[in-house]
Amino acid sequence: MSLVEPVPGDPAAVAELGGERALVVADFHAGVEQALRADGVSIDSRAGERRDRLLALVARTDAERVVFLGDLMHAIGDPGGAERGEIEVLLERLADRGVAATLVKGNHDGAIESWADLDVTDGAGVRLGDVGFAHGHTWPAPEVLDGEVVCVGHEHPAVRLEDEVGGSRAERVWLRGSLAPEAFADREGAVRPGAELVVFPAFNDLVGKTWVNVPGQEFLAPFLPAGLADGQAYLLDGTRLGRYRDV
């Protein structure tokens, strides 16, 4: 069994971190509704729904820690009151349950370490046990690449699926495959032989997506797609779609 296993039906995974069990989610994007309203999209806040969903997952998985895989915030600069309040209440609820929180800093997270009560790494990431974590907007640190499994977010991967009559739908997906050493040949450090790369779906379904099976769509991370050897796509329910480029 892999050190990182998705929670069936949810955009979250459980990671075994050398004696500690963590719930891992990417791209929470607290307060995204405020940004959407500024762009003319009328939408009520889903802050309570996001919080309840995350806390339910913590209880369901018996997690001792939550690892936010970047972009806990949405506002790139200083967050507005609603966004900051959403994050502060969420962290308070986790602390009330005795659950620690770690943020692998993403490109949206600004100076969150100056006011939020959680452990914050820099953007290059961190390794906890044998699992490396990085947001994905920049090159991972050498210690991250030395993990047995490397987890990244940032991409919000999704596929477009078509039916027999020409209808289509969008589905968030996991991408998993071997971590290709040649993609990091010019970087400091080395990829652990046999390491696996896991690209997380976005926890927040209101954010934009990288369409991994649409021609002309480009990845956002500097090491993708080259760093994902023979990447396979999986729906949130665990359905294996095969090579993501062939879906």
- Beta carbons of 215 and 246 less than 8 angstroms apart: no
CA atoms within 13 A on the CB side of 189: 13
Stated pTM of the model:
0.94
Going from N- to C-terminal start, the domains of the chain cover: 4-246
Kindly indicate whether the domain formed by 4-246 is annotated with CATH number 1.20.80.
no
Is residue 106's pLDDT more than 90? yes
How far the first Cα of the chain sits from its last, in Å, is 25
Instruction: Please state, in angstroms and as integers, the Cα–Cα distance from residue 197 to each residue in 47, 69, 94, 142, 245, following that order.
Output: 30, 14, 28, 14, 16
Is residue 164's pLDDT more than 70? no
Is the model more confident about 219 or about 167?
Answer: 219
- Beta carbons of 175 and 122 less than 8 angstroms apart: no
| pLDDT (tens digit per residue) in 216-247 | 888 999 999 999 988 999 999 999 999 988 87
Is residue 195's pLDDT more than 80? yes
How far apart are alpha carbons 191 and 205 in whole angstroms? 32
Q: Where residue 166 falls among pLDDT bands split at 50, 70, 90?
A: low
| pLDDT (tens digit per residue) in 41-100 | 778 778 899 999 999 999 999 999 999 999 998 876 667 678 889 999 999 999 999 999
Is residue 23's pLDDT more than 90? yes
In this structure, the number of other CB atoms found within 10 A of the CB of residue 213 comes to: 18
How far apart are alpha carbons 51 and 8 in whole angstroms? 19
Distance of CA 190 to the CA centre of its chain: 23
State how beta strands 168-179 and 157-162 pair: antiparallel
- Beta carbons of 174 and 214 less than 8 angstroms apart: no
